[in-house]
Structure 1
Amino acid sequence: MNYQGAVVWKKAMKLAIATCRCAAGLPAEERFGLRSQMTRAAVSVPSNIAEGWARESRKEKAQFLAIAHGSAAELNTQVLICRHLCWLSHGQSDPLLKLADEVGRMLTVMRRGLRGGRSEEVEGRK
């Protein structure tokens, strides 16, 4: 299976697309601030999953999944900041937070699978 068939990558893509759409509604003065950081973090998640997928060694795969996981956590924090600043409503932020959490949990399982050698978890089929 290639990375585009992995559930985790598909969910990460949904997260990236939803974040980019949501970030477009942030204040114009945030174009090069929080909006830019949010979109970079969101795009980093599926991008690093894909790059890790293409790597040969478990160590390299794990490294890219760790980067994706970190980007999901970074995005989670940025969404919370926007919500506290009243730039995003609960209706806008809750779906992003839920997806970021779900992707983060899946990445945790995949990273554990790399350490333990369970291919179905590493390939995102579980």
Structure 2
Amino acid sequence: MDFEKLIVWQRSKCLAVDVYRKFARCGDLGFKDQITRSALSVPSNIAEGMERYSDKEKVRFLWIAKASCGELRTQIIIAREIAYIAEPLAEKWITDTRELSKMLCGLINKISD
């Protein structure tokens, strides 16, 4: 299966683009680096996993993507609390990361069966 056709990859890629755009001018380079790396890690690990040969390897990278999604959600919550992003955007991204985590669980379960 081509990873580009996966809705979970498409949505996580769009979220990573949004995060990069939002933090492009952020002066806090440490925070900017951390949140953009987390956002980039989700679709990247989905892609890498789906390109692997064995189902075991695919699932391993999907779990890494799910973990990165949790890391990203944590950073979004912190960004909201320190006023780097507004409440409506934070809530949208938090919802997105929760939905992506559920989608990843579903894909992991499908591949594991």
> Which TM-score bucket, shorter chain as reference?
over 0.9
Q: Residue by residue, what CA displacement relative to the aligned partner does 1:71-107 show, whole Å, maximum 9, x if unpaired?
A: 1100000000011111111122122112111111100
Matches within 5 A, 1:32-111: 33-111=30-108
5+ long unaligned stretches in structure 2: none
Tell me if 1:115 matches 2:109: no
5+ long unaligned stretches in structure 1: 117-126
Contact 1:18 1:96 in 2 (8 A): no
CA RMSD of aligned residues (A): 1.2
Q: Distance in 1 between matches of 2:77 and 2:25?
A: 15
Q: Which residue of 2 aligns with 1:123?
A: none
| Partner AA of 1:43 in structure 2 | L
Q: Distance in 2 between matches of 1:112 and 1:21?
A: 33
Q: Which residue of 2 aligns with 1:5?
A: 5
Using the size of structure 2 for normalisation, the TM-score is 0.93
Q: Residue by residue, what CA displacement relative to the aligned partner does 1:17-41 show, whole Å, maximum 9, x if unpaired?
A: 1111122253x1x11x111010001
Q: How many residues align?
A: 113
Identity among equivalent pairs (%): 35
Q: Distance in 1 between matches of 2:7 and 2:84?
A: 30
Using the size of structure 1 for normalisation, the TM-score is 0.84
Q: Distance in 2 between matches of 1:79 and 1:23?
A: 11
Structure 1 or 2, whichever has the larger Rg, is 1
Q: Distance in 2 between matches of 1:17 and 1:2?
A: 20
Q: Distance in 2 between matches of 1:3 and 1:17?
A: 17
Task: Give the C-alpha shift of residue 56 in structure 1.
Answer: 0.9
